[in-house]
Amino acid sequence: MLYFLRKREMVRMKIGILLMASALVTFLQSGCAASGNALPADEEPTISDPENRRITKMNTEMMPSLLVNAIPMPQWLAEREQACLDQSVPGDEAKIRLVVDLAVENVRRGTGGPFAAAIFDIKTDRLVAFGVNVVVPSNQSWAHAEMTAFARAQNLRKSHSLKGCMLVTSCEPCSMCSGATPWSGVEKMVYGAPRRMAEKVGFDEGYKGLLWSPAFKKRGIRVVGPLLGREANAPFELYKQKNGEIY
């Protein structure tokens, strides 16, 4: 029975990743078109055409920056990140308090949902990047805090792998973000509020199976959480008070 549960869990996770990848491809294609680098619809591209090769190369090079820049970081968060960049934040609870504070600030300022995340270097405890949920202001369903943190950290490190890093998130990741975590390369995950706190407000966290944490451990990703108890619920309480949009 345990075998079938694990197999079903992995199938669901793979389906989630495929859907997410499809959405990202569509987004990047639309971004390239909006940037003015796409070919007119009535022109057929040919490999032998040097101009078409130049445009293709340009679009390929633009993809990482398109993904990061098309989801603009709130100005206040950019300033906080710059102030904290490369600072050491020892201890899991201290890191969680930091991202919970970011989630509260994101709600208070009206710049997104009640979720925040950060990427830290495991050995030094130094900050690599911040991320907050900007689904509504960006009109992008994938722009969860963990996803924006992954994208920004990988862009800053100029690598698709965050090996040697940890993900610190204000709430237990949803099915999409959980599915993306192993592919991000992080080796540790620390989270604050359990998913039921997000679901209590009305958010749909998706299905990821009961064995997601042991599955992460098998992939070499240590999971720590939930942490801080009621304190980690502060972003959701404020979001509810402000009648924030549920999605």
Q: Which of 81, 105, 146, 205 is catalytic?
A: 146
* Rg (alpha carbons) of the chain, rounded to whole number: 19
Tell me the C-alpha distance between 92 and 227, whole Å: 9
87 phi and psi angles, rounded to 5 deg: -80, 145
Tell me the C-alpha distance between 135 and 144, whole Å: 6
Give 189's strand partners: 167, 223
146 belongs to the catalytic site = yes
Spatial neighbors of 79 by CB under 8 A, at least 6 apart, are: none
Distances (CA, A) of 152 to 118, 192, 240: 10, 21, 28
Determine the residue type at 47.
Answer: I
Dihedral-angle region of residue 38 (phi above 0 means left; psi in -120 to 50 means alpha; beta otherwise): beta
Q: Which residues are catalytic?
A: 146
